[in-house]
Structure 1
Amino acid sequence: MAGNQDLDVVVIGGGPAGATASTLIAQQDYRVELFERERFPRYHIGESLIPETYWVLKRLGMLDKMKSSHFVKKHSVQFVSPSGRISAPFYFHDNKPHECSQTWQIRRSEFDVMMLNNAEEHGVVVNEGVRVLDVLFEGDKAVGVQIVDEAGNQREVRADVVIDASGQSSMLINKFRLRVPDTQLNKGALWTYYEGADRDQGKDEGATIVLSLQNRKGWFWYIPMHDDLVSIGVVADFDYLFKGRDSNESTYFEEMENCPVVKERVAGAKQVAPVKATKDYTSSAKQAAGDGWVLVGDAFGFLDPLYSSGVLLAMKSGELAADAIVEGLRIGDTSRSQIGKWEAEYVEGMNRMRRLVCEYYDGFSFGEFIRRFPHHQGSVTDLLIGDLFKKELDQVFVDIDSMKVS
């Protein structure tokens, strides 16, 4: 336990990464307190889960809650080429015949509340409407945080470990100047929501559809959710999407003209939200941990949303960090080498997903690749479902490279 400290662990941020890490540590009877500056529910983009979230949800005790929810079930992903050709669905179950191959399209405001409530049920002390003003250090070691509540009351909270799960605005990543922008994936996004847009039936109702623009400069996501809503967004290079354009709204509809399949699907639908934009895209941190502190989720790295890996990577980093911290607390070692020991494995997995993203933007054809290397169909599906942490998957990229020189 924490000795003279107030707590064993302080967590900054109540999104999926913070909720995951705090829950798994509290399950081991450590004292964990979480501080979230907003009050949930709060809006957040990122509505599509991929199958490998199943295993973290299971450890968290969230599976039954997800199964009984009204979230739309997702069994597959489909791709639409620049010419409008629709691929056969990549059914996750065909590759991995297990219930983990069915996942969900979620509304983040609801899902994040479920995750935070679940953390409380497992013993985490959750504080909403509380901002962390600073991370406290003694020498190079983080020893707690300074917080302020909505009434303006300030106090210090001491802990053996500080987990920063505060997203891309992370205090620690800015303090230590750790952010590394990804110049190859300098993208932005525009999106909105439609009511009554076309959706497929039966098993395909919840499929994520990735649709290329005719000019190949970007792509649309198409994510069917409950309450007859569909999330539809366009992703492209930052300069292409935001420079020399009149407005986000007009740009969004100009790009819809550049993707006729999307335009057809919303022909009889009603737009029910303003067009939103994000320009803070792919980046990573130089390191995931220091003495007494850890970065998880978007605070450590955010990857292009092409394959809907965001929530998985947030939860996976939270899980791996939690396991390293629990071990460190048990043996009395909260040094960088102990609580950041998960970083190399995690970065390898994240980079496999990043490589698949980059290949897509470079014109990679799943169909052509599988025709040439049919034995890789399972490996490609593994990558798409987020089963990223296996070295044997690297052979996929060796063979992709071989296609480029042949």
Structure 2
Amino acid sequence: MPDQQSPDVIVIGGGPAGATVSTLIAQQGYRVTLLERENFPRYHIGESLIPETYWVLKRLGMLDKMKSSQFIKKFSVQFVSPTGKHSAPFYFHDNNPHECSQTWQIQRSEFDVMMLKNAADQGVAVHEGVRVLDVLFEGDRAIGVQIKDENGNPKEIRASVVVDASGQSSMLINKFKLKVPDPSLNKGALWTYFEGAYRDEGKDEGATIVLSLRDKKGWFWYIPMQNNLVSVGVVADFEYLFNGRTSHEATFYEEMENCPAVKERVSMAKQKAPVKATKDYTYRASQAAGDGWVLVGDAFGFLDPLYSSGVLLALKSGELAADAIVEGLQIGDTSRTQLGKWEAGYVKGMNRMRRLVCEYYDGFNFGQFIRKFPNHRGNVTDLLIGDLFKDELDQVFEDIDSMKTGPSEAV
């Protein structure tokens, strides 16, 4: 890799969080080196964007690229109950008639390349195929990284700030034992892709559909994508999904029998990929930053994918961390307090999405809630689109608590 001994910031990982934080810092004139272990494009799950990604994509200069892409446009989300009853779609535009209310179903391998190239175009020194061996410290302060270059030789690069955006394999979350699992959301997932599966027409073609299992033990996602592909996955408790089962493939199709609406949708389709699995679900780091270092994206935390919040949280944490880092560099303060000043507000927003996820798993009837509190339809839609960072949304959960009398069907 080219010799760059003294960047201002080193970013470990080139996914959406790493590309976001590096681009926004570089836009302010600082030297940023991004180190990505793999060579893009590479496969990654997480195809569905929610509308609030619009504002970060706008800051990144990505909107025109997204508008000219082949990604399927997404206007809504819809829920299907255990009995097969379809909810009315939550059309994002009804709540906010702005172009931000249309988003996309993305192919992550292509989207991530677009984000990384955009970072390079805006001045980030992007290096793929570079393995970070360790984060270097002097006392409690991060001062750089040790890498293995393309020739297999160890090398040190120093910087004022190190950002760990390396995903669930986060070097720093493991180094400092910061990972805090969420026992209430100990889930796993199995998924694959189908060609030629049913999709709705018109503005409903790109809708994300969430379909409950008949026995209410989990749910399927159904995400229409480009090239006539649909991403289909099942999420359920870890023990239920993985213990005592014969194979991932067999389990996936057993659960499809438990969700007739999905089975019908893919009945004429051809499976195009092996069934994949993930077993390490919701968690969060106990702190987002330290002296000279920051965690963003999945390196800080991962939330159950029920409402497709993964890329939003990656972009939002990257944005908030970038602003704190830029301010810290400007005033000469790269302490934990400065670099992590965004953490409390971000966690509050993340907790609102988590609460909405938990309500779904508890069988709460969202349709009934909207009928009783029609004034909250906009607030519920705000939560679904990822507009999570405002305190007035907390009234939704107070009113949910006020009407709970027992389990009911989630529609």
For the aligned pair, the TM-score class normalised by the smaller chain equals over 0.9
1:36 matched residue in structure 2? 36
1:346 matched residue in structure 2? 346
Asked if residue 25 in structure 1 is aligned to residue 22 in structure 2, the reply is no
Asked if residue 331 in structure 1 is aligned to residue 331 in structure 2, the reply is yes
Instruction: Report the Cα offset of residue 405 of structure 1.
Output: 4.8
Instruction: Please tell me whether the aligned partners of residues 194 and 229 of structure 1 are also in contact (alpha carbons under 8 angstroms).
Output: yes
Amino acid at match of 2:72: V
Post-superposition Cα deviations, 1:290-311, rounded to whole Å, max 9, x if no partner, equal 0000000000000000000000
1:91 matched residue in structure 2? 91
In structure 2, distance between residues paired with 1:149 and 1:233: 37
2:409 matched residue in structure 1? none
Post-superposition Cα deviations, 1:65-90, rounded to whole Å, max 9, x if no partner, equal 00000000000000000000011110
SS at match of 1:104: strand
Asked if residue 257 in structure 1 is aligned to residue 257 in structure 2, the reply is yes
1:8-157 → structure 2 map (5 Å cutoff): 8-157=8-157
In structure 1, distance between residues paired with 2:368 and 2:19: 40
1:347-386 → structure 2 map (5 Å cutoff): 347-386=347-386
Instruction: Please tell me whether the aligned partners of residues 11 and 164 of structure 1 are also in contact (alpha carbons under 8 angstroms).
Output: yes
SS at match of 2:8: strand
Post-superposition Cα deviations, 1:232-288, rounded to whole Å, max 9, x if no partner, equal 000000000000111100000000000000000011100000000000110000000
Amino acid at match of 1:180: V
In structure 1, distance between residues paired with 2:87 and 2:355: 21
1:400 matched residue in structure 2? 400
Amino acid at match of 2:99: E
Instruction: Please tell me whether the aligned partners of residues 5 and 160 of structure 1 are also in contact (alpha carbons under 8 angstroms).
Output: no
Asked if residue 273 in structure 1 is aligned to residue 273 in structure 2, the reply is yes
In structure 2, distance between residues paired with 1:244 and 1:164: 36
2:6 matched residue in structure 1? 6
Q: Could you tell me which runs of 5 or more consecutive residues in structure 1 were left unpaired when the two chains were aligned.
A: none
In structure 2, distance between residues paired with 1:404 and 1:261: 28
Asked if residue 236 in structure 1 is aligned to residue 220 in structure 2, the reply is no
Instruction: Report the Cα offset of residue 316 of structure 1.
Output: 0.1
In structure 1, distance between residues paired with 2:137 and 2:328: 19
Instruction: Report the Cα offset of residue 62 of structure 1.
Output: 0.1
Amino acid at match of 2:179: R
Aligned length: 403
SS at match of 2:143: strand
1:186 matched residue in structure 2? 186
Instruction: Report the Cα offset of residue 149 of structure 1.
Output: 2.2
In structure 1, distance between residues paired with 2:135 and 2:288: 16
Asked if residue 246 in structure 1 is aligned to residue 246 in structure 2, the reply is yes
In structure 1, distance between residues paired with 2:197 and 2:151: 44
Q: Could you tell me which runs of 5 or more consecutive residues in structure 2 were left unpaired when the two chains were aligned.
A: 407-411
Instruction: Please tell me whether the aligned partners of residues 33 and 125 of structure 1 are also in contact (alpha carbons under 8 angstroms).
Output: yes
SS at match of 2:222: strand
In structure 1, distance between residues paired with 2:393 and 2:204: 27
Instruction: Report the Cα offset of residue 5 of structure 1.
Output: 7.0
Instruction: Report the Cα offset of residue 404 of structure 1.
Output: 1.4
1:177 matched residue in structure 2? 177
Instruction: Please tell me whether the aligned partners of residues 7 and 31 of structure 1 are also in contact (alpha carbons under 8 angstroms).
Output: yes
In structure 2, distance between residues paired with 1:5 and 1:231: 43
1:391 matched residue in structure 2? 391
Post-superposition Cα deviations, 1:140-175, rounded to whole Å, max 9, x if no partner, equal 100000001232021100000000000111010001
In structure 2, distance between residues paired with 1:274 and 1:31: 42
In structure 1, distance between residues paired with 2:27 and 2:148: 27
Q: Could you tell me the percent identity over the aligned residues?
A: 81
* Aligned CA-pair RMSD: 1.0
Amino acid at match of 1:254: E
Amino acid at match of 1:154: P
In structure 2, distance between residues paired with 1:360 and 1:149: 47
